[in-house]
């Protein structure tokens, strides 16, 4: 399956797309992006969940994720929909869902498409779908001419560097509240340290620390078609990772939207089908559907305009500025199935929970950069060195010497060096200082 074709859209009389759209716009204040709802089989939904987009270049990690989705499905986990920020937005809904479940899902999707259109951190890439569609056609042409192995090496190379080229670039775009902007919320001053860490990390000297970009521009052996594949996969991964910083905002607001809709609009079977889906949302801080929506409901009680708020924040701001101890206490007190003693213990863990959530956004990634040193004469008492070397006759470029400013996981470092070397075609060294 190269890519899913447009097929039967949701036009059956018992699907209330227009009625739900009118409700979320006029009663809830949403302004959703134009969205096409498309029926899909369970198999197609699982494939899309592995690809994370309607179209992607083949890679073993996507096959792995599809298999993991299938295993979860066999254990009872069911994916009812998956929606993508294309133009228009594409929402695939499983064709085995009941009419009431579909209407519930439609309301949920409009929450996503409101964020697609309005959130200032949401990628506004109107051509990504077409670019990937044409890129996939070129991929299969390259496959016939150059073979699977080289294509896999190029994509693996991009994946090996994804945490460096994506997360580092995104960091500069994340808006963090300044101290004088926090007067309207309760924030423990200790969390201002995260702002200082981020600012210090950004104030670095200008050196070549985008390894993928360096190799892309400086390799004397990469052909145009190889650069094409690298560029396509990098473009795709950056698009996907940009959305990762909105997971709790996205799912929390989509859940807020579907709950408001079915509780105020639905009746009869639609209501009960929705209720049964809604009660299956498990309460956990690791569940963005539950945790994200609970924070938004608490903020709504404080007078916040929720559709406006979710247009202006990312996940890090949600937890940094708006997840206060007062909000957490109200969330926990509304949980009906735990005892008062357990509630008190959970509430007292607020500081640890907030730090855990913030650590997802402010934990520093290693900064790996091109460096000049003699890789064959390093002091092993000072440096950990990860390398991949070639026989003399196999070397096609010059040795690539890199330095990391943080200690590296050995397994990750070795895999990364191996992937770089297959594309660079010469010795590759990464050094980092040993931990005292």
Question: Would you state the pLDDT for residue 200?
Answer: 37
Q: What is the pLDDT of residues 418-433, one digit of tens each?
A: 999 999 999 999 999 8
The model's pLDDT over 98-129, given as tens digits with 9 standing for 90+, comes to 889 999 999 999 999 999 999 999 988 888 88
Per-residue model confidence (pLDDT) at position 364: 66
> pLDDT at residue 81 above 50?
yes
pLDDT at 292: 96
H-assigned helices in 302-372: 306-309, 315-317, 325-333, 340-348, 350-362
Report pLDDT for 73.
66
With 50 as the cut, is the pLDDT of residue 193 above it? no
Query: Which band of pLDDT confidence, cut at 50, 70 and 90, is reported for residue 14?
Result: low
- Tokens matching residue 47: 């494939």
Q: Hey, is 158 helix, strand or coil? A: helix
Other CB atoms within 10 A of residue 287 CB: 17
What's the pLDDT score for residue 278?
86
pLDDT band at 436 (very low <50, low <70, confident <90, very high): low
What pLDDT digit, counting tens, does each position of 327-363 carry? 999 999 888 778 888 888 889 999 999 999 988 776 6
Q: What pLDDT does residue 4 have?
A: 38
- 260 pLDDT band, cuts 50/70/90, is very high
Task: Please give the average per-residue pLDDT across 214-233, as a whole number.
Answer: 91
Which tens digit of pLDDT belongs to each residue from 171-191? 333 333 343 433 333 333 333
| CB distance 310 to 28 below 8 Å | no
Percent of the chain with pLDDT over 70: 85
The model's pTM is 0.81
**Is 202's pLDDT higher than 60?**
no
Give me the pLDDT at residue 10, please. Answer: 52
74-99: average pLDDT = 86
Between CA 294 and CA 91 the distance in angstroms is: 24
Per cent of the chain over pLDDT 90 is 45
> What mean pLDDT, rounded, does the chain reach?
83
Burial 409-423 (b: 16+ CB within 10 A, else e): eeeebeebbbbbbbb
Locate all alpha helices (DSSP H) within 27-98, ordered by sequence.
42-51, 60-74
- pLDDT band at 75, cuts 50/70/90? low
At 380 the pLDDT is 83
Predicted local confidence at residue 76, as pLDDT = 59
The C-alpha atoms of residue 249 and residue 255 are separated, in whole angstroms, by 10
Contact 59, 65 (CB under 8 A): no
pLDDT value at position 139?
Answer: 95
**Structure confidence at residue 6 as a pLDDT band (50, 70, 90):** very low
Q: For residue 396, what pLDDT is reported?
A: 85
Q: So what's the pLDDT on residue 1?
A: 32
């Amino acid at each position: 399956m190269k890519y899913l074709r447009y097929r039967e859209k949701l036009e059956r009389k018992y699907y209330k797309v227009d009625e739900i759209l009118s409700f979320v716009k006029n009663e809830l204040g949403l302004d959703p992006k134009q969205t096409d709802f498309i029926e899909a089989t369970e198999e197609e939904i699982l494939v899309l969940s592995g690809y994370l987009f309607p179209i992607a270049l083949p890679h073993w990690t996507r096959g792995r994720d599809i298999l993991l989705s299938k295993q979860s499905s066999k254990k009872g986990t069911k994916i009812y929909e998956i929606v993508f920020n294309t133009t228009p937005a594409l929402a695939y809904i499983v064709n085995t869902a009941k009419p009431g479940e579909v209407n519930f899902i439609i309301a949920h999707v409009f929450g996503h498409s409101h964020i697609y259109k309005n959130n200032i951190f949401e990628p506004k890439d109107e051509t990504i779908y077409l670019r990937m569609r044409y890129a996939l056609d070129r991929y299969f042409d390259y496959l016939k001419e150059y073979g699977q192995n080289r294509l896999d090496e190029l994509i693996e190379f991009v994946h090996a560097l994804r945490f460096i080229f994506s997360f580092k670039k995104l960091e500069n775009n994340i808006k963090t509240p300044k101290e004088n902007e926090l007067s309207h919320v309760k924030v423990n001053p200790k969390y201002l340290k995260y702002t200082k860490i981020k600012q210090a990390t950004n104030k670095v000297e200008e050196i070549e620390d985008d390894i993928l970009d360096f190799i892309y521009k400086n390799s004397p052996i990469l052909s145009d078609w190889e650069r094409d594949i690298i560029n396509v996969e990098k473009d795709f991964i950056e698009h996907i990772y940009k959305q990762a910083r909105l997971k709790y905002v996205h799912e929390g607001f989509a859940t807020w939207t579907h709950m408001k809709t079915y509780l105020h609009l639905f009746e009869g079977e639609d209501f009960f089908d929705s209720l049964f889906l809604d009660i299956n949302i498990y309460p956990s801080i690791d569940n963005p559907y539950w945790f994200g929506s609970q924070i938004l409901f608490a903020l709504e009680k404080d007078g916040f305009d929720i559709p406006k708020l979710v247009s202006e924040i990312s996940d890090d701001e949600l937890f940094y500025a708006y997840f206060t101890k007062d909000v957490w206490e109200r969330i926990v007190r509304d949980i009906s199935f735990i005892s008062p003693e357990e509630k008190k213990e959970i509430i007292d863990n607020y500081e640890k929970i907030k730090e855990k959530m913030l650590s997802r956004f402010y934990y520093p990634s290693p900064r790996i950069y091109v460096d000049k040193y003699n890789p064959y004469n390093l002091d092993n008492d000072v440096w950990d060195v990860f390398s991949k070397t070639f026989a003399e006759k196999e070397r096609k470029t010059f040795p690539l010497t890199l330095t990391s400013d943080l200690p590296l996981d050995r397994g990750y470092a070795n895999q990364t060096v191996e992937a770089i070397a297959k594309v660079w075609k010469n010795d590759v060294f990464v050094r980092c200082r040993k931990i005292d």
